[in-house]
Amino acid sequence: MHEAAELERRYGAHNYDPLPVVLVRGRGAEVWDAQGRRYIDMMSAYSAASFGHAHPRLVAALAAQAGRLAVVSRAYHTDRLGPFLARLCALTGQEAALPMNTGAEAVETALKAARKWAYEVKGVPPGRAEIVVCEGNFHGRTIAIVGFSSEAAYREGFGPFPPGFVRIPYGDAEALEAAITPHTAAFLVEPVQGEAGIVIPPRGYLARCAEICRREGVLLIADEVQTGLGRTGRLLACEHDGVRPDGLILGKALGGGLLPVSAFLARREVMDVFRPGDHGSTFGGSPLAAAVGLEALAVLEEEGLVARSAELGRHLLERLQPLRRSPRVRAVRGLGLFCAVELDTDRIDARTACERVIEAGVLTKDTHGRVLRLAPPLVIDRALLDEAVERIASVLA
C-alpha cells in the first residue's frame, strides 16, 4: 500500500472505501497516480469535475480572487456575489438564488424553503408540512436526508429521523398524485437518479409531475446537483421534458472542480420566505466561490459544453451498446455524458469490475455493486472516449 493511502487509512475515518489508486495530478480528462501512470477519468468526481481537471481559466480566476479577497462575512456586500447570482438566475430562468457550499446544504435549504412556504403562503397548519420524495433517491448525507432515503445502509444507526417525508416509487406520476394531501408542500425529485445507477424515468414523467404539482399547489423542486450544467446534454436535465421547476438545486460542477459551490434557486414567492437570520453559511457566496462560479458559467457557455455533452453523449452510448452482447452485461443506458453499464452480478460484481478497469487505465465507480457509472468531464474528446470504452470492453470480455 502506498504511504499516503496507509496514512489515510490509519488516521482517517473509514466512511469511504477508496479504490486502489493514489492520484496526484490531473489535466483535462486525464489524471496520473503516484507512480506516474496515466488514467482516463470517466467519473469526474460525480460531476464536480465536469470542466475537467485544472481548467486554466478556472485556475486563473481562483488564483486572482484568492490574492484579492477570498472570504468575508455576508454581513457585507462584495463585488463578486451579485454578478454571480445574476448570471446564474439568467441562465436557469429562476428569479432568485441562495448560495451555499455542498449539494447537501443546498438540499437542506430547499427543504427549509418548502416548509416555510407551505406555512406562510399555502396555509398548511404549523408543523404539518409534508414533502414527497422518491424511492432510490440520493440527496446527500445529513440526518434529515438519510432519514427519507430508501437505502437501509444510509439509515442504519443514525435514527431517529425528522418526520414529514412521504416516499413514492420513482418514475410513477400517478403515485405522486395519490400521495398529495392538503399538507403537501413540495415534491423533491432527481430528473435522472445518479447514485441509484443512472436511472432515467419514462419520457414525459417530469412534465406530468409538474402538471400535477401546479394543479395541486405543490412546489416541484428538482435536485440537479449531479445532472445540472450540461451533464445530460441540456443545461438542466429538466429541459428534456420542457419543465421549469419551482425550485432548483445546483452544486458540484458549479465550483469548477476547484472548491465546493452550490445554490438553491427559486421564484421570488418561494425565496422571499427567507428573512435576515433565517438561514446562512459562512463560506456560501464568498468572493472566492462567486468568482469561480461565475467563471465556470462563462466557460460552460463560451466553450459550448452543453452541446458537446449532447453530441459526445450520443457517441458514447453508441459505442457502449455492443457491450450488451457480453454475458456479463445486463443493460446499457444513458443521457448525455451520464451513462451506466449494468452488470450481471452472478458473473461479476461492479466493485471487482471497477478494480480491473482501473488496472486497464480507466477510472470509474460502481454503485450498489451492480452498475459501472460513466460520467467523464464535459471537456473530454472523442478519441479519449473511444480509448476508455475499448479498455472497458477488453476488461468485460
Contact 188, 224 (CB under 8 A): no
Residue 278 lies in a domain: yes
Residue 222 lies in a domain: yes
Residue 68 lies in a domain: no
Residue 109 lies in a domain: yes
Per residue in 312-338, pLDDT (tens digit) is 999 999 999 999 999 999 999 999 999
CATH at 168 = 3.40.640.10
Where is 306: in which H helix or E strand? Answer: helix 305-320
Residue 324 lies in a domain: no
Domain count, the chain: 1
Catalytic residue among 41, 223, 246, 366: 223
Q: What is the pLDDT of residue 73?
A: 93
Residue 375 has pLDDT above 90, yes or no: yes
- What mean pLDDT comes out for the span 248-253? 98
Where is 302: in which H helix or E strand? Answer: helix 287-302
Weakest-pLDDT range from 34-38, 43-47, 367-371, 374-378: 367-371
| C-alpha cell of residue 230 | 450540461
Residue 136 lies in a domain: yes
223 is a catalytic site residue: yes
- What mean pLDDT comes out for the span 63-67? 98
Residue 1 has pLDDT above 70, yes or no: no
Q: What is the mean pLDDT of the chain?
A: 97
Structural domain boundaries, residue 144 = 97-283
Is the N-terminal amide bond of 160 cis, ω within 30° of 0? yes
pTM, two decimals, is: 0.97
Per residue in 182-222, pLDDT (tens digit) is 999 999 999 999 999 999 999 999 999 999 999 999 999 99
Residue 329 lies in a domain: no
Catalytic residue among 252, 264, 338, 366: 252
Catalytic residue among 41, 84, 116, 138: 138
| C-alpha cell of residue 124 | 398548511
138 is a catalytic site residue: yes
Q: What is the pLDDT of residue 2?
A: 85
Per residue in 102-154, pLDDT (tens digit) is 999 999 999 999 999 999 999 999 999 999 999 999 999 999 999 999 999 99
- What mean pLDDT comes out for the span 303-310? 98
- What mean pLDDT comes out for the span 268-291? 97
Residue 242 lies in a domain: yes
